[in-house]
Amino acid sequence: MMNCPEVARKLTRNCSSEGQLLKILAHAKKSYAWRDEWPTLQVDIQTEGAAAISRHQTSTTTA
């Protein structure tokens, strides 16, 4: 069984925009949609991606 939060964190680690997050989701769907865990992974990717985008925006405004 796959550790969905960890996989999502690795996939979205350097995510900096909504467009990039959509590309990550599209690629992940091609790779993982056949797995039973896909719905959970999809939600985790969206959550972790939003957090990564927020961190990126915070770091660019304070730098």
Largest CA distance in the chain: 42
Cα separation of 58 and 62, whole Å?
6
From first to last of the 63 residues of the chain, give the pLDDT tens digit: 789 999 999 999 999 999 999 999 999 999 999 999 999 999 999 999 999 999 999 988 876
**Which stretches of the chain are DSSP H helices?**
4-12, 18-32, 38-62
Q: Output the six-digit token pair for 29.
A: 């769907």
Predicted pLDDT of residue 1: 72
This prediction has a pTM of 0.89
Predicted pLDDT of residue 63: 60
Predicted pLDDT of residue 12: 95
